Amino acid sequence: DQQVKQNSPSLSVQEGRISILNCDYTNSMFDYFLWYKKYPAEGPTFLISISSIKDKNEDGRFTVFLNKSAKHLSLHIVPSQPGDSAVYFCAAVRRIKIIFGKGTRLHILP
């Protein structure tokens, strides 16, 4: 029973364009959501988070949107850069419990 789903295993985007990574969840009781970025042979790096009471949070090139009625969040990266090529995980938190999605591999094409 996957509570946090990233349905696209991979995504390819042209450099300079917008990358949109999607995440769906099933439990409406999550308190907040996070996005992490992971390069091979390294630990994940925290990118951005959003509280369940917000619908948008922005940090530089990264914006996360939360649609509570659809139980859907998305990470927008604008403009996409070569260094953005990595695996992106979304995660949902309820009190002390954290659930990660399986990740989406983003390829930025030159």
Partner 1 sequence: NAGVTQTPKFQVLKTGQSMTLQCAQDMNHNSMYWYRQDPGMGLRLIYYSASEGTTDKGEVPNGYNVSRLNKREFSLRLESAAPSQTSVYFCASSASSSYNEQFFGPGTRLTVL
26: contact with partner 1 by CB under 8 A:
no
Bridge partners for 86 per DSSP: 106
Residue entry with tokens 């450099």 = 15
**Cβ distance to partner 1 smaller for residue 17 or 97:** 97
Taking CB under 8 A as the criterion, which residues in 69-108 touch partner 1? 89, 91, 93, 96-103
Give the Cα separation of 54 and 47 in Å (integer). Answer: 17
60: contact with partner 1 by CB under 8 A:
no
User: Phi and psi at residue 108, in whole multiples of 5°?
Assistant: -100, 120
If DSSP codes are grouped into helix, strand and coil, which group holds residue 83? helix
25: contact with partner 1 by CB under 8 A:
no
Residues at the interface with partner 1 (CB under 8 A): 4, 32, 34, 41-46, 49, 89, 91, 93, 96-103
